[in-house]
Amino acid sequence: MKMDFIGIYNLPFGVTILGLWFALWACILSYQDRFELSVICFVLAGLCDLFDGVVARRSKRSDEEERFGLYIDSTVDAISFGFVPIMILLHSGFDTTSDYFLYAFYCFSAVIRLSYFNLLNDRRQGVSGYYTGLPVTYSALVLPLVWTIGLFIPKTLSDVLVRLALFLLAFFFVLKVPIKKPGGVFYIIFPLLGLLLIGFWIARVFRLI
């Protein structure tokens, strides 16, 4: 009897799932109080999401493969960039009642943003070259930057900055404004910045900084 599985397995799918794998480890490592490694995995998840679209556009895919790729990418984004940052922050000490409300706002905004993105794609709407609202993936760049800056300022100010960043991310997820899609030089700048952040936090792991 031949076994069969649901899903469509190709190279773009592999890059997307690799990002989910890194996001899962970001959660696990944060639970183990290994914050530096958790941040590294979170940035790697963001880099995977940045490039799975590039791989997809350069792959010859059927309509069914394109639609499956869209849906699984949004599902993975909801987990990796909607839920995982909350787990990292929760395990790093942000566990007040007001934080819980902030987490709810952030999580709700992320899934609304992703659902609206899918709706626009289903209707073939949207402005070419622009997103509507801030992509949730940007949290994988903004939050690690904020965490890095927070190492060099007083903890009280750092905590305020982290909470403000989370609130602003959530706000811009659902704010109906056009955000230009990255392209050209941004596919060099964003990965380079991500690699610099990874290098910094690796140095933190080995107590070099």
Mean pLDDT, consecutive 10-residue segments, the chain of 209 residues? Answer: 83 96 98 97 96 86 90 96 97 96 98 91 69 93 97 97 98 93 83 96 93
* Angle between helices 35-57 and 63-77 in degrees, nearest 10: 160
CATH number of 11-205: 1.20.120.1760
The answer to whether the Cα torsion of 175, 130, 118, 185 is positive or negative is negative
pLDDT for the residue 186: 82
Q: What is the pLDDT of residue 41?
A: 98
Cα dihedral across residues 158, 164, 101, 90: positive or negative: negative
For the entire predicted model, the pTM comes to 0.94
Chain-centroid distance of CA 199 in Å reads 19
Instruction: Return the amino acid letter for 184.
Output: G
3-state secondary structure 46-68: HHHHHHHHHHHHCCCCCHHHHHH
Instruction: Report the 10 Å Cβ neighbour count for 111.
Output: 16
Q: Is 37 left (phi over 0), alpha (psi -120 to 50) or beta?
A: alpha
